[in-house]
Amino acid sequence: MNSDPDSDKVLNIRDLQVSFRSIAGTTRAVNGVSLDVRSGEIVGLVGESGCGKSVTIRSIVGLVPSPPALFEAGEIWLRTRRGMTETLALHKNMKALRQIRGRDVSMIFQEPMRSVHPMMTIGKQITEGILEHEVVDPAEAYDRTVEMLDLVGLPNPAAQMNRYAHELSGGMRQRALIALALVCHPQLLLADEPTTALDVTIQAQILELIRDLRERMSMSVLLITHNMGVVANLADRISVMYLGKIMETGTVEEIFKEPAHPYTQGLLASMPSLFSQPKTHLQSLRGVVPELAMVPKGCVFADRCPYVMPKCDETPPVVELRVDHSVACWLYADGGETQGSEDAATAEPSLSSEDTSGDSQKAVGVIPVLGTEPGSDASQEQLADSYTAQLQIENVALHYPILRGLLRRQVGTVRAVDGVDLTIRRGETLGLVGESGCGKTSVGRLVARLVEPTAGRIRFGADGGLEEITHISQKEMKRVRRAMGMVFQDPLSSLNARMNIRNIVGEPLMLHQVAKGRAVDDRVGELLEMVGLRAAHQSRFPHAFSGGQRQRIAIARALATEPSFLVADEPVSALDVSVQAQILNLLLTLQQQLSLSMLFIAHDIAVVRHVSDRIAVMYLGKIVELGEAREICVRPVHPYTEALLASIPLPMPGLETLREMPKGDLPDPANPPTGCRFHTRCPYRQPICEQEEPPLRQIAGNADHFGACHFQDELHLEGVEEIEEIYAPAAAAEGK
């Protein structure tokens, strides 16, 4: 490795070590990281949260407050307008550091919603940056800002100059922040999870923008993300980071085609992709990222590694597998160089046979998709049974009035849910997918009667036939709720921090008088073990558990009264990739064991496809497409479904989607477009779409597939073919 700060490199981090000192002791967050970014290159730094990615890139620009941080060793060489500069040494020299920030290197952050100053106009915030670094008159700075806003694709840039943050959507704010970062033409852009907080369609737009600007402004990008799909489509090279160390570095093709490090393999396998076998266990990494203070000696990944061996007690060497592909793992260190990649290839299947989650879950076989093999008597019976509905909602609506002015007059209506029909069959998982603000969470809350429907009918069958629950009293509803469990998105705020686990999980039991006294303890213990926790942990409080464990507790609570129906509202979106896989596996297992019906709500169509039998796609309060899960992903009939599928970054480099991305943001739900609500963003729109609203109707030749597009029978839309044989080692291994 050429360690000279040569001219090709824009950034060269060498053996960076950063520790944090606290009362509890000193923990090392970054432990010998070396990383290069070359001219014009996009480098992805990937890993789960708490692995030191942010600390690493914030160290480059001195954004890590010290104390508590201690920069113990290493060098960070950055190409600036004055030549290569070592920036760690500049941390003490604020003036020099300030000259670099914004001019030679810029940064965009994870939360565009909170990264724009709320009380300053966009224009002022951007021109401020120009005026800080260059001697220009305000008029020129103004013109350059407008030009930049135009370049990042904000509509009507001159008008944006006088707008405030709250007047822009998340995607627009991230564009404005990119304009702010690039207005002084830095050579390097640091992007810290730039799309994590955004909707998938907006994420696709922003990634496209970054790719485009890299060419136009000939800059390099260092991108942090936990989403392998994002880097696959954007990065040229990838470094995988775990607990302060770089585990593997390689070109994007090498990393995805021949992931060498067990951690990289695990990350790839954990992701439900549009190619994985639905309703099967994902090969999640076992356990969770440990606290920094508990990092294992030697190889930091040893305690979660399926190939762990005695030698792993020592720090593994960095092995060069090929030019531009190196890995820090003992698997590749012994004997010859050739052993490495072969070893990995043969080793892969054994990863799947491993008891992966460490929570005594057994692999679940593939469930026959409903209606696909109507052969034997048994399946006939199963079929008939499956078709009895557990939940039926008809034309349900939820409207909120918008009150304005002195007299709180109603000036409009937010149609959160606007006439939705859905049926969930017994034992079935129905996935509900859509962008944020489309009303999917409201549907979940309506079903559980947490909000009062404005119109429509909700019928639910606890154990017998359907019974109407649309307007029954809360007292009667209590009886119904016994058969209904609910899991919420944020596992931290949905558990009362002042209650211990026994009371959290046991509360429904006591409320419904299922158990009393000691019996509650026993049942809570059973439930905790069922979700992969220890029964002995009953007396602990929620803060003692990690995010994934908290979500397990929430699931245990939802299942306490042995419900037959579960509403899961974004149960995994707040979790890390490996933990997400564990929770999805748990939900799949429990659904099988307890023959639950489930309404699974999520924004990620890949996740939804993985767990659902059928999928309903929602847009602005309406169902636009409904059908069997794989069918919808392979042969979507609604342009919005196609757009959602196209927006999912595929973990497959070089397989860029050529389809047109949906343009713009989700329209205001208080003022939905006339006719077909999607027409403002639809690439296939015709005059009729602006006038007539298409109803949800059956697709010709498929009784189980519905769409709400005027041209659903004529349009040929592209789904995602199941091309597991082309690539995706995880999916391939699983498919065997």
> Could you tell me the smallest distance in angstroms from the CB atom of residue 61 to other proteins?
7
Amino acid symbol at 701? G
The CA distance from 289 to 547, in Å, is: 11
In this complex, which beta carbon is closest to other proteins, that of residue 409 or of residue 479?
409
The CA distance from 282 to 113, in Å, is: 32
Residues 379-438 that bind other proteins (CB under 8 A): 405-406
> Could you tell me the smallest distance in angstroms from the CB atom of residue 114 to other proteins?
5
> Could you tell me the smallest distance in angstroms from the CB atom of residue 126 to other proteins?
9
| Contact (Cβ atoms closer than 8 angstroms) between residue 344 and residue 260 | yes
> Could you tell me the smallest distance in angstroms from the CB atom of residue 190 to other proteins?
9
Interior angle at CA 203, CA 731 and CA 691, nearest 5 = 105
In this complex, which beta carbon is closest to other proteins, that of residue 105 or of residue 247?
105
SS3 content of the chain, % helix, strand, coil (to 5): 35, 25, 40
Specify the stretch interacting with other proteins by CB under 8 A; choose among 29-37, 91-99, 410-418, 616-624. Answer: 91-99
Residue 62 DSSP class: T
Indicate whether 311 belongs to the interface with other proteins (CB under 8 A).
Answer: no
> Could you tell me the smallest distance in angstroms from the CB atom of residue 31 to other proteins?
24
**Using the rule CB under 8 A, which residue among 35, 43, 45, 100 binds other proteins?**
100
The CA distance from 285 to 264, in Å, is: 10
Indicate whether 63 belongs to the interface with other proteins (CB under 8 A).
Answer: yes
In this complex, which beta carbon is closest to other proteins, that of residue 54 or of residue 357?
54
Residues 672-691 that bind other proteins (CB under 8 A): none
In this complex, which beta carbon is closest to other proteins, that of residue 89 or of residue 403?
403
What does the CA dihedral 683, 684, 687, 690 come to, rounded to 10 degrees?
-60
> Could you tell me the smallest distance in angstroms from the CB atom of residue 414 to other proteins?
16
What is the contact mask toward other proteins in residues 180 to 199, using x (rule: CB under 8 A)? xx------------------
> Could you tell me the smallest distance in angstroms from the CB atom of residue 177 to other proteins?
7
Alpha helices by DSSP H, 495-638: 501-511, 518-530, 547-558, 577-594, 605-611, 629-634
Nearest CA to 222 among 31, 80, 38?
A: 38
Phi, psi of 123 (to 5 degrees): -60, -45
The CA distance from 442 to 138, in Å, is: 48
Identify the sign of the CA torsion 529, 531, 532, 538: negative
Indicate whether 53 belongs to the interface with other proteins (CB under 8 A).
Answer: no
In this complex, which beta carbon is closest to other proteins, that of residue 166 or of residue 663?
166
Indicate whether 283 belongs to the interface with other proteins (CB under 8 A).
Answer: no
> Could you tell me the smallest distance in angstroms from the CB atom of residue 95 to other proteins?
8
> Could you tell me the smallest distance in angstroms from the CB atom of residue 129 to other proteins?
4
What is the contact mask toward other proteins in residues 235 to 274, using x (rule: CB under 8 A)? ----------------------------------------
**Number of other CB atoms surrounding residue 10 within 10 Å:** 26
Only one residue has tokens 């990119």, namely 178
Specify the stretch interacting with other proteins by CB under 8 A; choose among 115-123, 147-155, 437-445, 562-570. Answer: 115-123
Indicate whether 61 belongs to the interface with other proteins (CB under 8 A).
Answer: yes
**Number of other CB atoms surrounding residue 523 within 10 Å:** 18
> Could you tell me the smallest distance in angstroms from the CB atom of residue 136 to other proteins?
15
* Cis, peptide link before residue 687, omega less than 30° from 0: no
Q: How many residues bind other proteins (CB under 8 A)?
A: 34
Nearest CA to 57 among 6, 7, 18?
A: 18
The CA distance from 308 to 204, in Å, is: 38
**Using the rule CB under 8 A, which residue among 12, 59, 99, 564 binds other proteins?**
99
Indicate whether 166 belongs to the interface with other proteins (CB under 8 A).
Answer: yes
Cα 441 to the center of its chain, rounded Å = 17
**Using the rule CB under 8 A, which residue among 16, 177, 207, 644 binds other proteins?**
177
> Could you tell me the smallest distance in angstroms from the CB atom of residue 230 to other proteins?
20
Count the helices and strands in the chain (H runs, E runs). 24, 24
In this complex, which beta carbon is closest to other proteins, that of residue 117 or of residue 663?
117
**Using the rule CB under 8 A, which residue among 167, 354, 373, 704 binds other proteins?**
167
Interior angle at CA 169, CA 410 and CA 115, nearest 5 = 125
Indicate whether 115 belongs to the interface with other proteins (CB under 8 A).
Answer: yes
Only one residue has tokens 């939905």, namely 672
What b/e readout covers 487-501, taking b as 16+ CB neighbours within 10 angstroms? bbbebeebbeeeebb
Burial status of residue 105 (CB atoms within 10 A of its CB: 0-12, 13-18, 19 or more) = buried
Tokens of 69: 């941080």
**Using the rule CB under 8 A, which residue among 86, 111, 150, 656 binds other proteins?**
111
The CA distance from 521 to 23, in Å, is: 37
In this complex, which beta carbon is closest to other proteins, that of residue 125 or of residue 265?
125
What is the contact mask toward other proteins in residues 196 to 225, using x (rule: CB under 8 A)? ------------------------------
In this complex, which beta carbon is closest to other proteins, that of residue 43 or of residue 180?
180
> Could you tell me the smallest distance in angstroms from the CB atom of residue 118 to other proteins?
6
Residues 117-136 that bind other proteins (CB under 8 A): 117-120, 125, 128-129, 132-133
> Could you tell me the smallest distance in angstroms from the CB atom of residue 195 to other proteins?
15
Alpha helices by DSSP H, 364-500: 377-387, 440-447, 474-481
Amino acid symbol at 154? L
Tokens of 21: 């000192």
Site residues for other proteins per CB under 8 A = 61, 63, 94, 98-103, 106-107, 109-111, 114-120, 125, 128-129, 132-133, 164, 166-167, 177, 180-181, 405-406
